[in-house]
Structure 1
């Protein structure tokens, strides 16, 4: 959306719009609300993504496996003992499973695909097992943990995210155990005293690196469970090989290591379906560990704060997965919208340029248009800019009258214009009533049927008015959008807006012209037929985007709205983040108001309904929805940098940037602009997009909560001049005391 005048919003009754200052306490209460919802939403979404990455990623785990070391610190009874090691209470004991008892253990789960099949096989043969779960998987699939407990199986801890604990400090081990335990508490409402360290094998493989871990874990109340037989099912050696490695000899009891997660486990499930009945027929019982040892249950119910803390954890993990799923869909949507928009812009803007630049191109049968034009300049406190504005109009090559409507300025704007004493320039004074009222006052006093509207901070090139009115050679054209450009583009913020104007606004207008649904006549440079304005009731005060509002009204009334690329106007863009915020906040909110006001155009029929069928959905998607979702590109970039896959994430982000760079370069080429300003495009995409996101989010909040937004006057410097224009004589002072300098 191109530049609009920036003066305060008037009240409906007219007259002075100045309000009594709000009480200090009221201002203090309202100020934080400006950022409260956007900040809260951003923090919440970021927290959910980080939680999701924390649970799903292995970034915090240390998966290095320490090489075996000496065993001189490990007691002989442990090295030569059974697979269950008890170091609780400072003691050292080794336990074995009795004969004809087989304890099946499954590591790394639960898994949504394979754990249910393992449970089904156990249930079908009335067998029990021990599941050593990780905290990450239990947090994601708590229902499977509940089923394990409900069907009589035993649960053990396998750390939170499967690191080699021999690399961890005592605090690191505590963290792994407590997080794993909290996930179990939230999923099933129990604690367990069983623990199996990742990458463990047999008791005789215990060494000086793993033994201290076992001792410390015992001091925290846990029984360490190793195994007698490792099926190595994770290598998928074949069903027969898994069964062979899981079968004891001579009726010995054993603990068997298998897996229900970490990859394709179909061989494990098939092996179970054969192993269970075959060994049961030989007299084996498949029991929980404590059942086989004749020990008290390893499970302890939890209640109170511990239970609710665990449930809260599981709830947040589940919510983070759901929210991430929604965000992924949102990313897909915005990606599709962005690519579709860029594709349409490249295709249709090129078609527009080729059409209007043909040697035989004509706007209509009544051309060329040479009739005089009335130029309306609504002005509120534009003392720094108004002289450049008016002089640029007088220097034009088309017959005009200029009406400067002073909207209650307090800085001598009207007197400055009067003192210039320029031919064809009139000043109309009124009490501050807002821009729409000023423009309507100008229309009422205009002498001519073609009316050009501009802002008091804008300057025209000599040919701008002539180029702007040529499309009126077509009697169906009711309004014309000019080519608004940023004059102060040498600063970083100015360069960003320059890119936005050339790429976002003007390239869009070419596309919308071809589609026949131009959404906005820019306030900085636009032209209207008086008859068209009168038929739609003139400029409305219903919205803060009066230019968008009247453009949509003209479409609904059946008029064509077109874009004149050579009608260039140079406007002064905001030079600070605060001013940019104020301007874009008003634009965004005003656009939403206009969309809502003209929503019935979607169901209207006939030529006037084309805007509702095409234009309004496009505006809603590309100006309201897509920019609100666009920051997801950067959010997922950060997520990918932290949690991976880094290369694919960076590649995808650079791909999006490359598409934008191509479109920007094409837009600059069409507008005959220098490419050097595109150097700041990557930084614009990172920072500028976030600002626009917060602006849109706050606009949505204002709209949904029924809030009101007033006009906000931006500070101007008056430094903008049209390229190639003759520098104007600088003056000093204000009002009637203005004198030439020097």
Structure 2
């Protein structure tokens, strides 16, 4: 027995943490800051010191040092372009500059440089200059000091990684002429200067981001007389066609007047950009990879989410349509209940003392006329068999065996049973009085080999009980209606299912190869050519797990066992007939909706968390509310089909907080265990007697007098048609030839 893995939870946590960090990085890069807009309101609109607002465009600042500023010499233009590089507009602007043999300075956003490093290299290769425009186009006047430092460092590293050069010029986003600098801007500029940068403002702001027209942009960029100027334009942040056209008007006109077009450093007589250190380049490359990975992951998860939504929509549509078809078919084929032959009920039981008495009483209290109940005690240590024997109910037989597992107990009971219709029941299940009769009705069709009943949760109190109740009604029963219509029912639940003995014998009985013996058994019956159908009117009440730990263990066994059964019957994908329908419909459905999509759910949840921080909150809220509304509507319809009240619907939105994640983690654990090739031990749920409590609540209304707690079943009180079967049993006639008698008027023969 291989021990269950544990380290994968640490790996999953680390992977989800890295995924969230990558998505947050993408959100920081993509959704923080803005481009192509005018100056933003300043938190401190008072003017900066006079030396700043009256100074030239290029300023050197420092604490305790007088402001030093310089401008362009006469007949010298330093064209500057902000917000790039842009894959559409930056190359077009470079082409115009190359055609007119003009140089310029590009103040580039660090995140854009990481996305388009080739454009940054082209800028330098063609004799231009690159300055920093922060990493996300942040408003430096409102950014915290640490954020501003990070913006400058990340941008410098990005430019260093792309070009091998380090920027020395900074153009603060949303800046303009020196006289527009406020006190808040100045404080941020001082911090930028302390990092070793020169502040580059502008002499002429063309306002091209407003797109006033190419002629207006060109006119705004022309200095008066022979004055030099630093001119602000943009090569990103929107449609820059007018800027491109304005350059073709501006450059030839000013060159005709004797102007030259230079970089800012060239105009000031400064050296070119210095070579970056290896550390800066490596840091820039690493961050670029992280940024691109975050963008790729965000895009991939967006696609995954869309695919999941589409698949969920298709699944819901299929469920609703087939549920309607199934309901109409039941109504069309509806006819009075008929006696279809005597029934043997096999109840495998291991330490089921909490519920076994209620289970047996409900079976014996069935209104079906010919019934024997066989309880197979699988080595219980809590007196289960003794408790059944002390009930003293006629027609109930107890078999004892050493603990060998549920499949062995079922096969033991099947071998002992004398009838050809077999009902297999869990030891914690309480039947409605008409459940057996309704359950066996589809067996009137000789092609039907198995029938699934309708399992309901008995212990619905508390959130966990309500959630499981809704899951049974919405998921299990809607799915079974769909599987019935599609003729690919993968599971007849162990709680309530009827089988034809011939079908059981054809597949060699119940297999112990998997932990989901009911799923394995049902798939084998389908592959053998028998029909498997769903009868929603056959209702049985089962005790659901009452704690999260018990729920985990139960669902872990179910999920792992289902995976085992799917693998065991994988050849059904290539088979024909009902076996092929099981493979190409049932197995494909289980693989997609119970394995693959749940495995991606943790990533979707991380993406949803990312959306809360970085996406439009109204869109996120509307999406969640819409999804929840569809779930509630579906649940309401499913409850209506099952004849249930709508009161548990209020708890459905809360399922998204705990229950849904638990179910997805079960799939993760099961998948890891399956991939490691381990064998999961049987996890038995501790019973609390919830099914018994439910039966006790309904006894006065449903049970015949001889099932009251004070009484014992007397032969004189039994329906007359079961007496010959009891007499035959007493006479030791064995299985063959034992008659259950003739049905009464309520149960006409077919």
TM-score (norm 2): 0.87
Aligned to 1:708: 679
Question: For the Cα contact (< 8 Å) 2:133–2:171, is it kept in 1?
Answer: yes
Shift of 1:635: 4.2
Which sections of structure 1, spanning at least 5 residues, go unmatched? 1-18, 732-742
Q: Is 1:602 the equivalent of 2:573?
A: yes
Shift of 1:666: 0.3
540, 547, 559: which one aligns with 1:569: 540
Question: For the Cα contact (< 8 Å) 1:116–1:144, is it kept in 2?
Answer: yes
Shift of 1:39: 2.2
Aligned to 1:353: 327
655, 661, 678: which one aligns with 2:632: 661
- Change in Cα spacing, 1:573 to 1:152, as seen in structure 2 (3 Å) is farther
What does residue range 91-170 of structure 1 map to in structure 2 within 5 Å?
91-170=66-145
Aligned to 2:521: 550
- Change in Cα spacing, 1:396 to 1:426, as seen in structure 2 (3 Å) is same
Shift of 1:657: 0.9
Aligned to 1:375: 345
- Change in Cα spacing, 1:72 to 1:581, as seen in structure 2 (3 Å) is closer
Indicate the larger mover: 489-498 or 407-416: 407-416
Q: Which has the larger radius of gyration?
A: 2
Shift of 1:512: 1.4
Question: For the Cα contact (< 8 Å) 2:78–2:105, is it kept in 1?
Answer: yes
Shift of 1:42: 2.6
Question: For the Cα contact (< 8 Å) 2:42–2:182, is it kept in 1?
Answer: no
- Change in Cα spacing, 1:605 to 1:281, as seen in structure 2 (3 Å) is farther
What does residue range 233-252 of structure 1 map to in structure 2 within 5 Å?
233-252=208-227
Aligned to 1:267: 242
Aligned to 1:82: 56
Indicate the larger mover: 697-706 or 489-498: 697-706
Question: For the Cα contact (< 8 Å) 1:630–1:689, is it kept in 2?
Answer: no
- Change in Cα spacing, 1:392 to 1:550, as seen in structure 2 (3 Å) is same
Shift of 1:187: 4.1
Which sections of structure 2, spanning at least 5 residues, go unmatched? 711-750
Measured in 2, the distance between the counterparts of 1:46 and 1:320 equals 9
Indicate the larger mover: 537-546 or 372-381: 537-546
Shift of 1:48: 2.3
Shift of 1:169: 4.9
321, 338, 347: which one aligns with 2:312: 338
Indicate the larger mover: 135-144 or 662-671: 135-144
TM-score (norm 1): 0.88
Aligned to 2:495: 524
Indicate the larger mover: 66-75 or 207-216: 66-75
Indicate the larger mover: 507-516 or 155-164: 155-164
What does residue range 20-419 of structure 1 map to in structure 2 within 5 Å?
32-33=6-7, 35-58=9-32, 64-66=40-42, 69-71=45-47, 73-75=49-51, 78-87=52-61, 90-280=65-255, 283-304=258-279, 306-358=280-332, 361=334, 368-398=338-368, 399-419=370-390
| Number of corresponding residues | 698
What secondary structure sits across from 1:694 in the alignment? helix
- Change in Cα spacing, 1:486 to 1:265, as seen in structure 2 (3 Å) is same
Measured in 1, the distance between the counterparts of 2:251 and 2:179 equals 28
Shift of 1:476: 0.6
RMSD of equivalent CA atoms: 2.7
Question: For the Cα contact (< 8 Å) 1:74–1:207, is it kept in 2?
Answer: no
Measured in 1, the distance between the counterparts of 2:340 and 2:144 equals 86
Indicate the larger mover: 207-216 or 491-500: 207-216
Measured in 2, the distance between the counterparts of 1:551 and 1:141 equals 57
Measured in 1, the distance between the counterparts of 2:567 and 2:102 equals 64
What secondary structure sits across from 1:104 in the alignment? strand
Measured in 2, the distance between the counterparts of 1:99 and 1:476 equals 99
Measured in 2, the distance between the counterparts of 1:291 and 1:49 equals 41
Measured in 2, the distance between the counterparts of 1:601 and 1:279 equals 79
Shift of 1:258: 0.9
What secondary structure sits across from 1:459 in the alignment? strand
